[in-house]
A and B are shown apart, each in its own frame.
Chain A
Amino acid sequence: DIQMTQSPASLSASLGETVTIECRASEDIYNGLAWYQQKPGKSPQLLIYNANSLHTGVPSRFSGSGSGTQYSLKINSLQSEDVASYFCQQYYNYPLTFGSGTKLEIK
């Protein structure tokens, strides 16, 4: 199975700041990576797929990048509604696997 190592586990930032979340795969996943946002008490929602493609309706302050085994999610101009947990997921190979999540809070 492909292991997804996500960091940091938690993050506190101020409104308007830029934050970056990292995800490392245990082997090359050839950009088969998605990012999800999960707000408290809600289900996960797709943000990014194919490592850098923005899902329909997702604000442009979210962006994804990376290749090979290293990927990142960047949130520009942090807003209060961005308080959530964020998960990466690889879909290059089965079984699908997820990162352990990053909990983002506002300082």
Chain B
Amino acid sequence: EVKLQQSGDELVRPGASVKISCKASGYTFTNYAMYWVKQSPGQGLEWIGTIIPLIDTTSYNQKFKGKATLTADKSSNTAYMELSRLTSEDSAVYYCARARGTGVMDAWGQGASVTVSS
């Protein structure tokens, strides 16, 4: 069974950073790209970026360049997204999702809620 297990919900202070993990199981990690998606009430679903673990290549939505940094650890089948200089606009649920590279996301993590508040 394909599973993407994300880290837990986070409450963080404005200006801080947060790192969310996404541990993959049930498939060959390097055969798929990992996508990250933001869901917020005001903005709906937004694609943040993609990492291809096999070749450690990333691509970002211009809107999230400088905000999100994607990495992957092939030894533990885990993808990470770090969000920096957090503001209230970053409060949202963040999902990881796997895809073959076409952008069709056929398995999703359970989501990690990030709340930015002092």
Q: How large is the interface on B (under 10, 10 to 19, 20 to 34, 35 or more residues)?
A: 20 to 34
> How many A residues, CB 8 Å from partner?
22
Asked if B118 is an interface residue, CB under 8 A from chain A, the answer is no
- Docked pose: A92 CA to B106 CA in angstroms: 16
What are 27 sample pairs from A and B whose C-beta atoms fall under 8 A apart? Answer: A32-B102, A42-B110, A43-B95, A43-B108, A43-B109, A43-B110, A43-B111, A44-B97, A44-B108, A46-B104, A46-B105, A46-B106, A49-B104, A87-B44, A87-B45, A89-B45, A89-B103, A94-B61, A94-B103, A95-B61, A95-B62, A96-B35, A96-B47, A96-B61, A98-B45, A98-B46, A101-B45
Query: Chain B residues with Cβ under 8 A from A50's Cβ?
Result: 104
Q: Report whether A45 and B108 are in contact in the complex, using a CB–CB cutoff of 8 Å.
A: yes
In the complex formed, the residue of A with least CB distance to B61 is: A95
In whole Å, how far is B48's beta carbon from the nearest beta carbon of chain A? 9
Asked if A25 is an interface residue, CB under 8 A from chain B, the answer is no
In whole Å, how far is A40's beta carbon from the nearest beta carbon of chain B? 13
- Docked pose: A106 CA to B46 CA in angstroms: 28
Q: Report whether A91 and B111 are in contact in the complex, using a CB–CB cutoff of 8 Å.
A: no
User: In the complex, given contacts A44-B45, A44-B108, what are 18 additional A-B residue pairs having Cβ atoms less than 8 angstroms apart?
Assistant: A32-B102, A34-B103, A36-B105, A43-B95, A46-B105, A46-B107, A49-B106, A87-B44, A87-B45, A89-B103, A94-B59, A95-B61, A95-B63, A96-B61, A96-B103, A98-B45, A98-B47, A101-B44
Which of A43, A91, A95 has the most chain B CB within a 10 Å cutoff? A43
Asked if A100 is an interface residue, CB under 8 A from chain B, the answer is yes
Where the two chains meet, the residues of A that have a C-beta atom closer than 8 Å to any C-beta of B are 32, 34, 36, 42-46, 49-50, 55, 87, 89, 91, 94-101
In whole Å, how far is B68's beta carbon from the nearest beta carbon of chain A? 13
